[in-house]
Structure 1
Amino acid sequence: MLNKKIVEKKLTSKTYTPKVLKELYKIFNLRTKQEKQKLRKILLELISEGKIYKDSKGKYRPLKDNLAIGTLELTRNGTLAFVWTESGDEIAIPAEKLGNALHKDKVLVEIIGKWYDLPEGKVIKVIERGLKKIVGTFQPRGRFAFIIPDDPKIQYDFYVPVEYFNNAKPGVKVVAEIVKYPSPTRNPVAKVIEVLGYSDDPSTDFPTIVVKHDLPVEFPEKVLKEVAKIPEKVTPKDLKGRRDFRNEIIVTIDGADAKDFDDAVNVKKLQNGNYLLGVHIADVSYYVKEGTELDKEAFKRGTSVYLVDRVIPMLPFKLSHGICSLVQGEDRLVMSLLMELNKEGEVVDFEVTPGVIRSYRRLIYDDVNALFSGDKEAYRKIGDLKEQLFLMKELKDILRNARRKRGAILDIEGGEVKIILDEKGHTIDIIPRYRGEAEVIIEEFMIKANETIAEIFNNFDLPFVYRVHEQPDPDTILQLKNYLSALGINFKLPKKIQPKLLQELLEKTEGHPLRSSIERLLVRSMKRAVYSSTNIGHFGLASYAYTHFTSPIRRYPDLVVHRLIRNFLKTNGKLTKKKIKELNKKLTKIAVHSSKRERTADEAEWDYTALKKIDYISRHIGDVFDVVVTSVTKFGLFVEIIDKYISGLIHVSTMNDYYIYNEEKSILIGERKGKIYKIGDKLKAKVIKADKTRMQIDFEIYNEEENKSNIN
């Protein structure tokens, strides 16, 4: 009986010589249409898994040690790309070694050397095209046109013959289907399939982001059919084997605009002086069964995407806003983690159990923060919960101090903003978001829950999905040191970087006008946190084991962790060697895929926010803002509008002198007048241009005295 194991063994054996498909039919003695179809399916799976590849002559070959298959991702400047393999390995590809490959293509790569700590490769073959559509600006050139892609990672302009114009007008934003891919002598060809409108129309923002990042919006019919069978209420049979917490005062605390509630909490003071912290997480895995169409779609999406004015959910609304959401006053199924914590913030005992809760109150961060500050209106609204909330604050302080002592990075705000839109989608204001005590309470409780769950699996040495964060590269920390030196902030750089050092740096720069830029640079200097089936710890949190357990409504890895917990409770952590091997293989694939989907979601969210910021500033052309210099280059000053986190460039050509760039000190010096511009300078700058397509904002320095003399 033909199966994948037999085919893989044959094609990777030492005696096998590469064969075309017809020859493989003979080798495996396949005669019927169904048998041949099965082989083709197996071959596609083996190619997808990176076990074999099909060469230019149609022969199926095993992958040698110097070959790899993965997905190509270009950097924004187009000079470098990275290939991510199924196992999570990363290969650097210089632009000149890309061949005809495009961003998001699945490619076969030959390893040819080293690029810093990574292997360097060149693209041998495009196995599968990743891009099917593009979004960009339509630019006619007589009897043909070009589409200039919005995504800077796409290194080609797309040729459009006249018969593919589809009534597009010059300068409009369009969605186009790729008809022909690039060759060594020709640009790719595209066909306009949808005219979105002009880029200054905010209604073009959402479809632009959806196409650019290939985000799945609508759920397939087969998924919705499965969802329709899920009950809207918790039934008595759902309660079997569950702890009943419905008489406990358990609350959710979220932002005012939150729609899905994955986590609820409660805290009690025990007679021995310890605290009992309950973290109750929506039991999504009870409803989303492994292998169903709903599960496959959730895996494909990987995460919900939260945009300024909408969400693209991982799960259909019936689950994410309905039966799984821990709404006030409704019975909901949960996976509960009860932790007994001492006065040092250590977990001295814990219990994990399926449960049922009835959320006592849906609390809002602003109201809780107002209660803590003594606001009478907040007391009128939620004063009946004052004792519980102040106990939560007390425990939060203990947990936070414990993390500070062990050296975790605590104080990164991240420069987040709240963008306020009008009914047409135009940005009317941008307001900084600040975390209050209530936000930090939930953050600390969720971190402690995630650590506790991860430690269980780490201590039992069982297959698991960890959230890991590597140590930063010394080179990137050196760049941070040089940046801070330019600001007059000095700190010693030890051989081994500890998170405690970076936390001390954040405390040192508290109140600095460039605090948000320092935070963002510090984040960029550290490696990205990812999912992994191998535990290497979490540098930023100073955790030896960490996971994501607390948001299964919106993150697929959390859903998988819940399944692993359920299986752990059922088997008492006892697994066969065969099962452990199978699980490790599956979890590696889930971790790599989830990390990719998270990165895509982040980029979509950043791009959408950037479009809304440019929309705001485009209606302030000619206006003057207070800005701070965040970076100095030979071609000008990068500046940021204070409290709005809107960045742009003051090009050196608009400045009133010939400026020389001193790279060592990171300053610009005026040749005639001797004026010096450095990082941290506060200026007044006038907005002169805002381009949504290129996502660029241009400023010029506003000199009040010069402006007065020009008027006179």
Structure 2
Amino acid sequence: MELPTKLTPKKTNRRKKRSKSGHKKPAINSVNVISKNISELSLDNNYVEVLTSLNKSRQVQLKNSQLKCDVQTDHVKGINNLTKNSKHTRKKRLDKQVKEEQFPTYFTETEVEEGLKSGQLIKGTVRINPKNPQHAFVSNTDSTQPDYFIKSVLDRNRALEGDEIVLKLKPEEEWMDGQKTAEVVYILNEVHSRMCVGILKPLEHNSEYAVLVPRDKRLPTIHICSLSWPGGFAKKPKLYQNILFSVKILEWNVTTHAKGIIVDQIGLCDDLKAETLSILKEFCLDVTPFNIDQIKDYLPKTKNIPEKEFQYREDIRTECIFTIDPLMARDLDDAVSVKKLSNGHYEVGVHISDASYYLPEGSPLDDTVCKKATTIYLVNNIYHMLPVNLCLHCSLLPGEDKLGFSIFWEMDENGQIFSTRFARTILNSCVQLAYEHAQQMIDDPDKEFTADELPKIHNGFTPKDLSNTISVLQKIASNLREARIRNGSLRIDQIKLLFSINPQTGEPLDFMAYENKEAHRLIEEFMLLANISVAKKIYDSFPDIAFLRCHEPPKYTMLLAAQRCLETCGIHIDISSSGAISNSLKKYITEDCQGLCRKIVLNHIFTKPMTRARYICAARQKNKNVFSHYALSVPMYTHFTSPIRRYADIMTHRLLAASLGYCEKPQWTVDHVRAIANNCNIKKYNAKRAAEASSDLYLAVYVNSHQPYIQDCVVIDVKDRSLDVIVIKTGSCVRVHQNKCQGQPKWDLETIPSAALDSNQDSDTERNKKIYRLILTYPPTKVYHKSQTVIIEMFSIVKVKLSKLPNKYKLNAYMLRPKISHR
């Protein structure tokens, strides 16, 4: 099928956005690169000409080939005033307006400032329920209290996922089960880009608008004016029923729909390349190639290290230093070393690529990298934060002199640290080991490796040297990990899939679950220690602009609900601290099949209450306890060990260099650091979600090509008309609806009495979620001569047939009738 010509964006002017009342919205720091207006998009010249010619009566003017925000507003008003072609269309529109609810006007900036100061208004971030977008939540600053509940799209008042908003509480009589309800009265920062991906469909008896149905249910349907339709859509809309479009929301005045404009035509549904591009667009990730003309002056011209660097850096090229990474890794950020000291202690070294040396602050290259903020890892591709040639230049490749930033600890084999020092270094890695190689050395320290069993070893070292080094590091790492766990560290793992891809077609051939072995944990332990050490150093040196990473405690009410739910199954979890949760979970996780199922369910349940770790500027925090990292159970943490793929680490490197006297203290304002932290938070989270979506896409394609695909699943929640299960092999969470059960069994629910509330806990602060047991009664059939009763509750195992949903990369679940065992 021939696809219509794409609409290609190009740059336009930015104009400050005003509220309904005419007051300007608060300015946003220039470092924040999140899209705010359609002005950040651009339109194909031909398309602009069409808009201009069709809207001359509305004086749509183009200046310097840029479409300004006032033109957007005028264009949307012009759309609203288009001639109505028939009485039928007018009647349909009038009927529809009766059902529509107009959003209330936002408070003025002055009203917001006064309300926040007096405590009558509340500031927060919107979280929308992805399965029921009518409902949204904003965290309560008091973690012992339930979140504020926004019970409708009208009350959400045009706010989208992640937006920073201002709330006004509803009257107490409108609260629900003791949970405070609220409405949005102002949007401080439109964090969501207002971009979405979906399918374009015609509206019945309406020649002026089509409707874009977003894939993300949290977004409204979007009416697209005929001026924005692709060529041929008006006459043959069915040609477009399987084509994905990228759309920008321009206006959203009524609850039923927004209005927007097509930005790009992505491609066909189910095409892996088009679907991957749609994921990148949906999560607003910039994968635009670097402009070589702008950055070429900042790229290294030779592999040779400048002579001046030898004058002040510590030369450690003769030491046994090596990397341990995934087998096909290209970004080699970190290396490790260890040597025995004369006093019987060890000097353990972690050596990180000095990528910040090649990234002059404020240069065009630095500005571009700052906006990208992170490397994006999808199943079929890696989109690097740095230019690819700079990635290779910075990577600690074996046998090559490299610039590093090193941390050295003097410690004993128990992991007790006696001293810590930092230094800029010149190093030469002797080998690039994979985790598989390191694991063999851990499993069999005395193994004699042949030349073809390991990669080439440089600098005169032998396999035995590597094996001895890994043995010492493994012993220290194990003791460090045990001490960290005793201190309260909590780890909640979820299944991560690795795919093998057909090089000709790009389709998935097979997949496997990522296995976290001792070799992975060895490296992880020393990277954690490095990050903890650097956090303390940069905060002690620059408490006003230290770039830290905090992880706030989980929502207590959600932890309490999880605890009560599990007690109905005979599982008792102490939720008083991260360490208490960790110790409690260990009691129920065993190596057998039942223990594996319990682990999957428990990890899922305790992932939900956890807050998202985030980067912060230390000066913005009034309480030093805010710096702490709940899951790691440490008072202070940062990211330092991956500067090739995270801009946050570049920030930390610059601060560490200044703290050691290698350069002057950065002249950063608190607002500058905070803006970069916010951008890093957004881009890191979006990159994570894109990686998960990419994995879902390839899994759905694999399932679709391997029908029938039947898997064992463990039940995590029974609802009144459905149940949620996790596929044991893939970790996918899918919903089985009542009408998706083989044999059409009778569906009966039994309420399980929940544990009594603690006497100190006010029942009004806990939303009373009912916990169900499902009783399925299957009728007799030709195959099953007798009726059959099956009881399903949390931790039950069921067989489910999985299939791919049409035009989506989501899985559909169909529960099979259990077979009757004959004894």
Name the TM tier (shorter chain): 0.7 to 0.9
Q: 1:137 corresponds to which residue?
A: 199
Q: How far off its partner does 1:146 sit?
A: 2.3
> Deviations for 1:377-433, whole angstroms, at most 9, x for unmatched residues?
6786343321111111111122112212222225x4321121222232322222111
Q: After the TM superposition, which of the residue ranges 592-601 and 129-138 deviates more from structure 2?
A: 129-138
Decide which of 129, 134, 143 is 1:79's aligned counterpart: 134
Confirm or deny: 8 A CA contact 1:617 1:690 kept in the other structure: no
Decide which of 447, 471, 483 is 1:402's aligned counterpart: 483
> Deviations for 1:184-209, whole angstroms, at most 9, x for unmatched residues?
28733445454444322222221111
Change over 3 Å in CA distance of 1:416–1:583 after alignment to 2: same
Q: Which residue identity is paired with 2:528?
A: I
Q: After the TM superposition, which of the residue ranges 634-643 and 325-334 deviates more from structure 2?
A: 634-643
Any stretches of 5+ residues in structure 2 without a counterpart? 1-20, 34-68, 70-103, 117-121, 140-146, 234-238, 455-462, 753-770, 779-787
Matched, 1:629 2:735: no
Change over 3 Å in CA distance of 1:96–1:353 after alignment to 2: same
Change over 3 Å in CA distance of 1:66–1:230 after alignment to 2: farther
Q: 2:684 corresponds to which residue?
A: 598
Q: 2:160 corresponds to which residue?
A: 103
Q: How far off its partner does 1:560 sit?
A: 0.7
- Percent same amino acid at aligned positions? 24
Q: How far off its partner does 1:254 sit?
A: 0.4
Confirm or deny: 8 A CA contact 1:303 1:313 kept in the other structure: yes
Q: 2:113 corresponds to which residue?
A: 64
Matched, 1:658 2:746: yes
Decide which of 427, 430, 440 is 1:370's aligned counterpart: 440
Q: 2:522 corresponds to which residue?
A: 441
Q: 1:419 corresponds to which residue?
A: 499
Over aligned residue pairs, what C-alpha RMSD do you find?
3.9
Structure 2 CA distance, aligned partners of 1:70 and 1:81?
A: 12
Find the residue that maps to 1:669 and give its secondary structure: strand
Q: Which residue identity is paired with 1:467?
A: R
Matched, 1:473 2:555: yes
Structure 1 CA distance, aligned partners of 2:186 and 2:426?
A: 55
Find the residue that maps to 1:608 and give its secondary structure: helix
Structure 1 CA distance, aligned partners of 2:670 and 2:181?
A: 25
Q: 1:509 corresponds to which residue?
A: 589
Q: How far off its partner does 1:661 sit?
A: 2.5
Decide which of 357, 369, 374 is 2:427's aligned counterpart: 357
Q: How far off its partner does 1:508 sit?
A: 3.3
> Deviations for 1:653-706, whole angstroms, at most 9, x for unmatched residues?
233422222343532013685421122222322235534527242222144469
Q: 2:579 corresponds to which residue?
A: 499
Q: How far off its partner does 1:45 sit?
A: 5.7
Q: How far off its partner does 1:156 sit?
A: 2.2
Matched, 1:161 2:226: yes
Structure 2 CA distance, aligned partners of 1:225 and 1:558?
A: 21
Q: How far off its partner does 1:445 sit?
A: 0.5
Find the residue that maps to 2:645 and give its secondary structure: coil
> Deviations for 1:69-119, whole angstroms, at most 9, x for unmatched residues?
9986644232345789xxxxx997554455662536977745447999999
Q: 1:552 corresponds to which residue?
A: 643
Structure 2 CA distance, aligned partners of 1:446 and 1:48?
A: 29
TM-score, length of structure 2 as denominator length: 0.71
Confirm or deny: 8 A CA contact 1:105 1:126 kept in the other structure: no
Find the residue that maps to 2:506 and give its secondary structure: coil
Structure 1 CA distance, aligned partners of 2:195 and 2:502?
A: 30
Q: Which residue identity is paired with 1:64?
A: E
Q: In proportion to residue count, which structure has more strand? A: 1
Change over 3 Å in CA distance of 1:232–1:213 after alignment to 2: farther
Find the residue that maps to 1:349 and give its secondary structure: strand
Structure 2 CA distance, aligned partners of 1:460 and 1:419?
A: 44
Q: How far off its partner does 1:364 sit?
A: 0.2
Matched, 1:537 2:628: yes
Q: 2:386 corresponds to which residue?
A: 315
Structure 1 CA distance, aligned partners of 2:615 and 2:293?
A: 26
Q: Which residue identity is paired with 1:348?
A: F
Q: 1:295 corresponds to which residue?
A: 366
Structure 1 CA distance, aligned partners of 2:740 and 2:151?
A: 34
Find the residue that maps to 1:630 and give its secondary structure: strand
Change over 3 Å in CA distance of 1:391–1:586 after alignment to 2: same
TM-score, length of structure 1 as denominator length: 0.81
Confirm or deny: 8 A CA contact 1:615 1:692 kept in the other structure: no
Confirm or deny: 8 A CA contact 2:804 2:810 kept in the other structure: no
Structure 2 CA distance, aligned partners of 1:538 and 1:170?
A: 49
Q: 1:527 corresponds to which residue?
A: 611
Matched, 1:670 2:776: yes
Confirm or deny: 8 A CA contact 2:531 2:637 kept in the other structure: yes
Find the residue that maps to 1:188 and give its secondary structure: strand
> Deviations for 1:469-502, whole angstroms, at most 9, x for unmatched residues?
22222222223324433543223x36x3242432
> Deviations for 1:199-237, whole angstroms, at most 9, x for unmatched residues?
222222211111101110014537842565433423323
Confirm or deny: 8 A CA contact 1:486 1:666 kept in the other structure: no
> Deviations for 1:355-391, whole angstroms, at most 9, x for unmatched residues?
1111111110012112323376678634332111111
Structure 1 CA distance, aligned partners of 2:179 and 2:362?
A: 38
Confirm or deny: 8 A CA contact 1:281 1:551 kept in the other structure: yes
Confirm or deny: 8 A CA contact 1:688 1:698 kept in the other structure: yes
Q: After the TM superposition, which of the residue ranges 296-305 and 116-125 deviates more from structure 2?
A: 116-125
> Deviations for 1:122-141, whole angstroms, at most 9, x for unmatched residues?
14469869546431123334
Confirm or deny: 8 A CA contact 2:497 2:730 kept in the other structure: yes
Decide which of 646, 650, 660 is 2:732's aligned counterpart: 646
> Deviations for 1:600-629, whole angstroms, at most 9, x for unmatched residues?
111111111111221122223433323322
Q: 2:453 corresponds to which residue?
A: 381
Q: After the TM superposition, which of the residue ranges 657-666 and 469-478 deviates more from structure 2?
A: 657-666
- 5 Å-filtered alignment, 1:154-233, equals 154-159=219-224, 161=226, 164-167=229-232, 169-178=239-248, 180-184=250-254, 187-192=257-262, 194-221=264-291, 224-226=294-296, 229-233=299-303
Q: 1:35 corresponds to which residue?
A: none
Matched, 1:280 2:351: yes
> Deviations for 1:563-587, whole angstroms, at most 9, x for unmatched residues?
11111111899x8xxx99x644433
Q: After the TM superposition, which of the residue ranges 376-385 and 349-358 deviates more from structure 2?
A: 376-385
Change over 3 Å in CA distance of 1:391–1:343 after alignment to 2: closer
Find the residue that maps to 2:596 and give its secondary structure: coil
Confirm or deny: 8 A CA contact 2:242 2:269 kept in the other structure: yes
Change over 3 Å in CA distance of 1:571–1:313 after alignment to 2: closer
Structure 1 CA distance, aligned partners of 2:423 and 2:180?
A: 43
Structure 1 CA distance, aligned partners of 2:169 and 2:30?
A: 24
> Deviations for 1:266-315, whole angstroms, at most 9, x for unmatched residues?
01222322221111111121111222222222222222121112122222
Q: Which residue identity is paired with 1:647?
A: C
Confirm or deny: 8 A CA contact 2:774 2:791 kept in the other structure: yes
Structure 2 CA distance, aligned partners of 1:117 and 1:399?
A: 43
Any stretches of 5+ residues in structure 1 without a counterpart? 1-18, 22-39, 85-89
Matched, 1:239 2:288: no
Find the residue that maps to 2:639 and give its secondary structure: coil
Confirm or deny: 8 A CA contact 1:227 1:294 kept in the other structure: no
Q: 2:14 corresponds to which residue?
A: none
Find the residue that maps to 1:675 and give its secondary structure: strand
> Deviations for 1:439-458, whole angstroms, at most 9, x for unmatched residues?
01100010111111122244
Find the residue that maps to 1:525 and give its secondary structure: coil
- The number of residue pairs the alignment matches comes to 653
Q: How far off its partner does 1:539 sit?
A: 1.6
Q: 1:567 corresponds to which residue?
A: 658
